[in-house]
Structure 1
Amino acid sequence: MSEISVRPLGEEDWQQYRDTRLTALRESPEAFVATAEEEDAYDEDFWRLRMNRSARLLAEREDGPLGIVSVGRADEEHPKTSELFGLWVSPEARGTGVATALVRAGATLARDQGQQQLTYWVGSDNGRAVAFASGFGFRPTGRRRPMRVQNGDDEDEVAMVLALGGDRGSVPTDF
C-alpha cells in the first residue's frame, strides 16, 4: 500500500475538488449542509470562487483521492482562529490514518498562517468524532450551536479547539 499524501489544492484544481466534494456529499449526505444535487448544478465560476475562499486539502494515494478537508477563518471575533470543516474520508480509507493526516495538515497550515488555534465543530452526540478530535488534542469549549446538517434530529454541535502553539492543553477563555 502506498503512502498517504496531503496536498493543498489551488484554483486550478477546482474540478478535482468538485469531484471529490460531490463524492463526499453522495456517500455521506447526513454529514453536510449542502446536497450533491445542489452542488452538482454549480458552474465553474462558483467552484473557482470557492477554491479561493478557504484552503482545500486533498489526501490521496497513487490510486486516487482518499479524503478532503477545508481550513478557513473562524469569524471576525476571533481573528487568530481558523476553522477546520468539511472533513470527509472515503469509506475504504477510514481507520487508516487519512483523517489524522488531513487534520495534521490543516493544523500546520493554520499555524503557518500565524493562527493561534484551530476550531472544529463536532456533533455532541457523535462519540467517535469527539474521541477522534480529543485524541488529536482538541478540547471542548462552552460554545454550542444547532447542527447545521440535514439529518432531521435536534442535535447540537460543540466547538472543539486545538491550541497551535504554547500550551496545547489549554482552551481559550474567550471562545
Structure 2
Amino acid sequence: MSDISVRVLGEDEWEQYRSVRINALEESPEAFVASADEERAYDEDFWRTRMRRSQRLLAERDGSPVGVASVGQARQEGEKENAKVAELFGLWVAPAARGTGVATQLVQAGADAARQQGRSHLAYWVGADNGRAVAFASGFGFRPTDSRRPMRVKGSEDDEDEVAMVLPLGEDRGTPNL
C-alpha cells in the first residue's frame, strides 16, 4: 500500500478543492451543512475567497485525492472569535480509504497547522450521539467540553446536537471558552 501525503492547498488550487469538496458532499450528504447542488453553483470568486479564509488540507495517495479537511478560526455563533483556538472542520475521507489512517493524518496536519499559527487549542465539533466520531477524536487526544450547539448538518433531527471537542496543542492543557 502506498504512503498517504497531506498538503495545504493554495488559493490557485481552488478547482481541485472544489472537486474534492463536491465529491464529499455527494458521497456523504448527511455529514455536511451544505449540499453538492448549492456548492456546484458557486463561482470562482466564491471558491477563491473560501481558500483564503481557511487552510484546506488535501490527503493524497499516489497523486489521487483520498480526503480533505479544513482549519480555520474557531467561533461560536453570535460570539467573538477566540484567537487562541483553531477549528478543524469539513473532515472527509473517501470510502475506499477509510480505516487506512487518512483521517488521522488529516487531523495531525490540522493540529500542526494550528500550532504553526500560534494557536493553543484545536476544536472539532462532532455529533454528540456519533460514537464512532467521538471515539476517533478521543483517541487522538481531543476531550469533550461543555459547549454544545444544535446539529447543523443536512437531515439531522431537531433534537440532535454537536459537542465541541478540544485538543491542547502546547503547554496550556486547560479548556478554552468556545
Q: Does 1:104 align with 2:132?
A: no
The sequence identity of aligned pairs, in percent, is 68
- SS state of the match for residue 171, structure 2? coil
Q: How big is each residue's C-alpha offset from its partner over 1:91-144, in whole Å with a ceiling of 9 and x where there is no partner?
A: 000000000000000000000110000000000000000000000000000000
Q: Does 1:172 align with 2:175?
A: yes
Say if 2:143 and 2:167, in contact at 8 Å, map to a contact too.
yes
Distance in 1, matches of 2:17 and 2:30, equals: 19
CA gap of 1:114–1:91, structure 2 versus 1, over 3 A, is: same
Say if 2:30 and 2:156, in contact at 8 Å, map to a contact too.
no
Question: Which of residues 115, 118, 128 in structure 2 aligns to 1:114?
Answer: 118
Distance in 2, matches of 1:96 and 1:81, equals: 28
Distance in 1, matches of 2:133 and 2:45, equals: 33
Alpha-carbon shift at residue 152 of structure 1 (Å): 3.5
Segment drifting more, 23-32 vs 144-153 = 144-153
Structure 2 unaligned blocks of 5 or more: none
Partner residue in 2 for 1:5: 5
Distance in 2, matches of 1:52 and 1:26, equals: 24
Segment drifting more, 150-159 vs 47-56 = 150-159
Aligned residues: 173
Distance in 2, matches of 1:17 and 1:67, equals: 10
CA gap of 1:143–1:63, structure 2 versus 1, over 3 A, is: same
Distance in 2, matches of 1:122 and 1:49, equals: 26
Partner residue in 2 for 1:27: 27
User: What is the correspondence of 1:6-155 to structure 2 with a 5 Å cutoff?
Assistant: 6-75=6-75, 76-153=80-157, 154-155=159-160
Partner residue in 2 for 1:160: 165
CA RMSD of aligned residues (A): 1.1
TM-score, normalised with respect to structure 1: 0.95
Q: After TM superposition, what 4+ stretches of structure 1 lie above 4 angstroms from structure 2?
A: none
TM-score, normalised with respect to structure 2: 0.94
Aligned residue identity for 2:163:
V
Alpha-carbon shift at residue 62 of structure 1 (Å): 1.0
Distance in 1, matches of 2:153 and 2:11, equals: 26
